[in-house]
Structure 1
Amino acid sequence: MTKPVNEREIVLEVLLEITEKGQFSHIILRDVLWKYQYLEKRERAFITRVTEGTLEHMIEIDYILDRFSKVKVKKMKPVIRAILRSAVYQLKYMDSVPDSAVCNEAVKLAARKGFSGLKGYVNGVLRSVARGIDSVQYPKEKMEELSVRYSCPEWVLDLWSGSYDIEVIEMMLRDFQKEKPVTIRCCLNRTTPDELKKRLEAEGVKAEIHPYLPYAFQISGYDHLNDLETFQDGLFVVQDISSMLVAEIAAPSAGAQVLDVCAAPGGKALHVAEKLFLAEAVCGDAACAGNKSGGGAAAGCGIEDQMPPGHVEARDLTELKVDLIRENIERTGLPNITAVCRDASVPDETAAESADIVIADLPCSGLGVIGKKPDLRYKASPDGIDSLVRLQRQILSCAQDYVKPGGTLVYSTCTVNPAENMDNVHWLMEQYPEFILDDIRGKLCPELRDNVMENGCIQLLPGVHKSDGFFIARLVRKIESEGSRNI
């Protein structure tokens, strides 16, 4: 009896959506896994691994296929190309699947998709690959060899070679291909790290504290994340450690007014809102303790009498993205954050000098997270990066205007590219000399302090640091400046 759903056929459809139609892998795969959530865990794991693995190794796979097929990969029919790519991934990287099964299933799939006339071709190519894959010779030139072995476009390697030596580049490439546990942030407004760890372990989840932050965990061993009671109760959010460091570096004080101009899905904005909530709870407790001791509000901080409560406004471009923020706000239960639909690249005169902290985590090339989103390496291009830099500078020129004198601008990206990172920081300070870098060493764990650049910036590198590739800069607007409207 034929199974109603074939995992390899699902993989094929996902790959075609990504490689032929330009869809993003993490979105398509998430939707497909939701659609087929009734499948067994091992079947869903197979779909995920083969899809992500094929994309992760696609340059290498194409290189191998071109050595065994008379028809070069670029000339193949899209369906046949996708079938062969996923099959070669299984042959090279999945020892648990017999070579004969890989070849036979690929032939059957080609026939099911209307290519019965190419069954012999598919079978012949894959049988040849299975016999000769271990004898494939890789390019001798180092950059070309790294490009093939780690499936990274050569132009990306050339870009990195201007800043990093070959050993660091290979460390990054190797790290992109490692399987890693999911990183989560404990919602401290609802529980403690110790209590969260106990509850996760009671649900059968392995949880280890991340070395950079005491409220961050790396988790594994679960089936559906959404089925965990700890997740349903809003006790944690999925967030990389590098993203958490944005809130650490922003370091909001009680009463701060915060604007996040590109917030979706809301992780950083919610983290800052949580820090505000906790800071104000401490201030309230201190004021209350002062009153009880007879010292009055002056014995505490008396925040209720001095300033309005802190608030985070989380903005993004579309209602769809804003709805994602709202969903996360509802799940985590924070009362001091709202989501607003607004284009960050268009100036907002009503927000001029209104924020103590502006967070600008901007659209970027994503070269720091290609381990999680493997298709980004194929979507990025030098021309595309030039366009992104222009967009980043346009948004920064708007965002800087919202910072109060004495306030803070936190700029971040999830890429490893000086043009999008340090070059933009230098540009901002040249265009708006009232902004200066502010020392962030005291806001980082000891393991990261030696990596701070120019006092106020840090570039995290996958493989070098225990995080994604990520850049963060903290700038402060001087109180006495020609650019300030209040002077």
Structure 2
Amino acid sequence: MKLYKGLVAATVEALQDIFVKNRQADRVVEQMLKSNKKWGARDRAFIAGNVYEIVRWWRLVKYAAHVEKAVESEDFWRLAGVWQLIKALHLEGNEASGSLPEWPEFEEIDREVVVGRYAEALAIRKIAQSIPDWIDQLGETELGESWPAELAALNRTAPLVLRINTLKTDIETVREQLGSEITETIPGVPEALVLKIRINVSGHESFKGGFFEVQDAGSQLIAPYLDVRPGMSVIDACAGAGGKSLHLAALLGNTGSILSMDIEHHKLQELERRAARNGVTNLTTMLIDSSKTIESLSETTDRLLLDVPCSGLGVLRRNPDSKWKLKPEFLDKIRKVQAQILEDYSKMVKKGGKMVYATCSILPSESEEQVRAFVKRHKADWKFVSEHRTSPARDGFDGFYMALLERK
């Protein structure tokens, strides 16, 4: 294998930022790639690819490298080297494949030991699939027999999926602009295009013109699930940077009104920038700074989207570092937050209106069970209509849950 020391050094530095300084992987990679203008496309692909691969397979790599806890620079060099051997083993399928450059940083790596420990690791699911013990146990408890397949699917690289902005264009036009040979449609997701090869879409004129947004196919199913009609009032109460708000605006054809709310001002600012690029004119934003904000909107909206904060265990393909940072106590806390949001925010819906409760979690305890408990508490006022779940293993989408409820 041909390795360049500068690129491996950049990979090592990025990994230290993620695991020692506890920074988010996507931001670390983005900043690293901007740090050296001399790097070409292949160089950037090597750095980004290796960083995300090692983060995704962190436990497996550490086991094969015999590194209990990575702290010092030499630990990360060792892990980077061992990962190259693992990749060669996996790709070539034989123990004779792969060798490392004779660099001082790799001197202590014994290839035969790595091969042996890698073989051992493959026999232990939580190490082979590189997941913390407690998440593996939780997945098995909540998902039963389907957990191994979902876990394996969550370790596959996520495809790059676009949502066509129908306020400005149509799917065939964007296919022509990007190249029909590198794009394909997704059955059942009418505005989605998946790219067969990864390109920098943010630099494309079509993106700058607001013709599309990057949004997973599973996520694209949520806004239509709200059953909106032209002229309706809609509140997206956990809007974040607003991908689903923008989709709702397109579904409404810029009619009616969308109020996008969040507790973080910077996310709403980003949404406003995206809305301008998308040609959205029926959207306003509101910062949630107290419970009075929600109370003041009691029974004011036809439709309410609650894409609540969650563990994010349905989107590990895109955020592999989150599984190493997630803690059991956070999950306990976020379930209480979800229940409270359902309890308080649902009051904004008019009688006869509808609400979608959504998560990007594969866990029933954050999803189906929350909805069942809410409907049971409010059977006099709310009716369960339907629910849908996307499965990384079955659909190839991120793992989303959505439930449609109607206020009586």
Determine the C-alpha separation between the residues in 2 that align with 1:465 and 1:323. Answer: 33
Unaligned runs of 5+ in 2: none
Partners of 1:131 and 1:344 in 2: CA distance: 60
After superposition, the Cα gap between the structure-2 partners of 1:399 and 1:36, relative to the gap in structure 1 and judged at 3 Å, is farther
2:58 corresponding residue in structure 1: 58
Q: Does 1:154 align with 2:101?
A: no
Number of the residue aligned with 1:225: 201
Matched, 1:73 2:68: yes
Letter in 1 for 2:245: A
In 1, the alpha carbon distance for the partners of 2:19 and 2:227 equals 41
Q: Which amino acid aligns with 1:161?
A: E
| Structure 1 position 435 matched with structure 2 position 382 | yes
Residues 87/254 of structure 1: CA separation in 2 closer, same or farther (3 Å cut) = same
Matches within 5 A, 1:309-324: 309-324=255-270
Q: Does 1:215 align with 2:191?
A: yes
CA contact (8 A) 2:240 2:264 kept: no
Residues 5 and 153 of structure 1: CA distance in aligned 2, closer, same or farther (over 3 Å): closer
- 1:358 maps onto 2:304 in alignment: yes
5-14 or 89-98, which moves further after superposition?
89-98
Q: 8 Å contact 2:264–2:287 — kept in the other structure?
A: yes
| Number of the residue aligned with 2:176 | 198
Residues 345 and 391 of structure 1 are in contact (CA less than 8 Å); yes or no, is this contact kept in structure 2? no
Is residue 267 from structure 1 mapped to residue 248 from structure 2 by the alignment? no
In structure 2, the residue matched to 1:247 is: 223
Q: Please say if 1:170 is aligned against 2:148.
A: yes
Deviation at 1:335, TM superposition (A): 0.7
Seen in structure 2, the aligned counterparts of structure 1 residues 192 and 336 have a Cα distance that, compared at 3 Å, is same
Q: Contact (CA 8 Å) 2:158, 2:318: kept in 1 or not?
A: no
Q: For 1:100-111, list aligned pairs within 5 A.
A: 100-101=100-101, 104=103, 107=104
Query: Residue 86 of structure 2: SS of its match in structure 1?
Result: helix
The residue correspondences of 1:265-414 to structure 2 (distance < 5 A) are 265-277=241-253, 309-343=255-289, 348-414=294-360
Summarize the alignment of residues 174-189 of structure 1 with structure 2, pairs less than 5 Å apart: 174-189=152-167
The alpha carbon displacement at 1:461 in A equals: 1.8
Secondary structure of the structure 2 residue equivalent to 1:468 = coil
Q: Say if 2:212 is the partner of 1:236.
A: yes
Amino acid at match of 1:73: E
TM-score (norm 1): 0.76
Alignment correspondent of 1:292? none
The offset of 1:98, in angstroms, is 5.4
Native 8 Å contact 1:344 1:398 kept in 2: no
Pairs aligned (count): 397
2:120 counterpart of 1:138: yes
Percent sequence identity over matched residues? 25
**What does the per-residue CA deviation read over 1:314-373, in whole Å, with 9 as the maximum and x for residues that have no partner?**
112222111111111011111111222224866522111111111111111111111111
Cα pair distance change 1:466/1:215, threshold 3 Å: same
TM-fit CA distance, 1:35: 4.3
- Give, in whole Å, the separation in 2 of the partners of 1:190 and 1:39: 35
5+ residue gaps, structure 1, are 67-71, 108-118, 279-308, 439-455, 479-487
Supply the distance in 1 between the matched residues of 2:262 and 2:5 (Cα, whole angstroms): 38
Tell me the amino acid that sits aligned with residue 236 of structure 1.
F
SS of residue paired to 1:262? coil
RMSD: 2.4
- Give, in angstroms, the shift of residue 268 of structure 1: 0.4
Equivalent in the alignment of 1:87:
81
Residues 392, 253 of structure 1: CA spacing in aligned structure 2 closer, same or farther, 3 A cutoff? same
**Residue matched to 2:7:** 7
Letter of the 1:123 counterpart: E
Structure 2 residue matching 1:100: 3-state secondary structure: coil
Q: Distance in 2 between matches of 1:153 and 1:169?
A: 14
Give the structure with higher Rg (CA).
1
The offset of 1:5, in angstroms, is: 9.7
Question: Please, what TM-score do these two structures have when normalized by structure 2?
Answer: 0.90
Amino acid in structure 2 at the alignment position of 1:184: L
Q: Aligned AA for 2:203? A: D
Give the partner amino acid of 1:474. Answer: L
Distance 1:277 1:35, change over 3 A: farther
Q: Distance in 2 between matches of 1:355 and 1:221?
A: 41
Deviation at 1:271, TM superposition (A): 0.3
More deviation, 186-195/85-94: 85-94
The structural deviation recorded for 1:50 is 0.8
Q: SS where residue 177 of structure 2 aligns?
A: helix
